[in-house]
Amino acid sequence: DQQVKQNSPSLSVQEGRISILNCDYTNSMFDYFLWYKKYPAEGPTFLISISSIKDKNEDGRFTVFLNKSAKHLSLHIVPSQPGDSAVYFCAATDTNAGKSTFGDGTTLTVKP
Amino acid sequence: ETGVTQTPRHLVMGMTNKKSLKCEQHLGHNAMYWYKQSAKKPLELMFVYNFKEQTENNSVPSRFSPECPNSSHLFLHLHTLQPEDSALYLCASSQVHGGLDGYTFGSGTRLTVV
């Protein structure tokens, strides 16, 4: 049973527009949520995170939204740039159990 | 040198070989992790070390043996692997286990078992 799901394997967006990446989870014990970006031949890089006590966290062009009742989080990138093209992973952490679970990833392509 | 460094970047080994993957971090982090990424699968947690003590073994077969001699180094010893063990093996570290600052990942070792 996959506890963290990214249902869109890929997303294509025009440069300057908004990119919205989605993630759903099933375990209500998750209390920290994180987004990572991965370029080919590199390890994932931490982008932004949010605690379950918040519903929004913003860092420059990146905003993460958390809807606990729907067990859903999303990453908004505005404006999207070609350099944002990468695989994006969401991860959810149960801090009591000390476990982080990753989604499958969504490949974002930003077209010039 | 900063960040998380993994060696080797690529490894091809036979099923009867013994090899080791090395991970080194100079970030002063207290937790280190081994993850496995197989094709078309999410990242799978293998092992967690917190303050040099193993705190998690995620039902990993005994042909994978981790070692954490100090807080900066983590090894994954491999022996009698199977072809289905071919994957990208990622090491990561974090200041606090499961914190909001996320993990710092290495670039990974691409392992091929023949």
Tell me the pLDDT of chain A (112 aa) as tens digits. Answer: 789 999 999 999 999 999 999 999 999 999 999 999 999 888 999 999 999 999 999 999 999 999 999 999 999 999 999 999 999 999 999 888 777 899 999 999 999 9
The answer to whether A101 contacts B50, with C-beta atoms less than 8 Å apart, is no
What average pLDDT is seen over chain B? Answer: 91
Cα–Cα distance list, B83 to B12, B44, B56, B86 (Å):
11, 17, 25, 6
Nearest CA in chain B to A3: B42
Q: Which residues, 6+ apart, have CB-to-CB distance to B37 below 8 Å?
A: B43, B44, B87, B88, B89, B90, B108
**Nearest CB to B102; choose among A41, A49, A99:** A49
Average pLDDT of span B31-58: 87
Give strand pairing partners of B53.
Answer: B50
**Nearest CB to B48; choose among A32, A94, A98:** A98
Closest to A66 (Cα-Cα) out of A38, A36, A102, A90: A90
Closest to B78 (Cα-Cα) out of B34, B25, B43, B31: B34
pLDDT at residue B2, rounded to an integer:
60
What is the pairing mode between strands B53-57 and B31-37?
Answer: unpaired
Token readout for A110 is 């930003």
- Chains A and B: how many Cβ contacts under 8 Å? 65
- The secondary structure element, H or E, covering residue B91 is strand B87-94
In one letter, which amino acid is A20? Answer: I
Q: Which residues, 6+ apart, have CB-to-CB distance to A40 below 8 Å?
A: none
Q: Which residues of B touch A45 (CB under 8 A)?
A: 105
Question: How far apart are the CA of B114 and the nearest CA of chain A, in angstroms?
Answer: 21
pLDDT at residue B58, rounded to an integer:
77
What strands, in cross-sheet order, belong to the sheet with A19-25?
A: A4-5, A19-25, A72-77, A62-67, A56-59
* CA dist., res. B50 & res. A27, Å (int): 23
* CA dist., res. B39 & res. B41, Å (int): 6
Question: How far apart are the CA of B64 and the nearest CA of chain A, in angstroms?
Answer: 20
Token readout for B2 is 């900063």
Which of B43, B74, B88 would you mutate first to test chain A, the one with the most A CBs within 10 A?
Answer: B43
Average pLDDT of span B90-97: 90
B54 or A106: which leads in pLDDT: A106
pLDDT at residue A2, rounded to an integer:
82
In one letter, which amino acid is A47? Answer: L
pLDDT band at B60 (very low <50, low <70, confident <90, very high): very high
- Classify residue A52 by burial, with Cβ atoms within 10 Å: 0-12, 13-18, 19+: middle
Q: Which of these ranges, A90-94, B14-18, B28-32, B95-99, has the smallest mean pLDDT?
A: B95-99
Which of B7, B88, B95, B100 would you mutate first to test chain A, the one with the most A CBs within 10 A?
Answer: B100
Closest to A54 (Cα-Cα) out of A71, A70, A46, A66: A66
φ and ψ of B83, to 5 deg:
-55, -30
Token readout for B93 is 């570290």
Token readout for A107 is 């490949």
The answer to whether A95 contacts B98, with C-beta atoms less than 8 Å apart, is yes
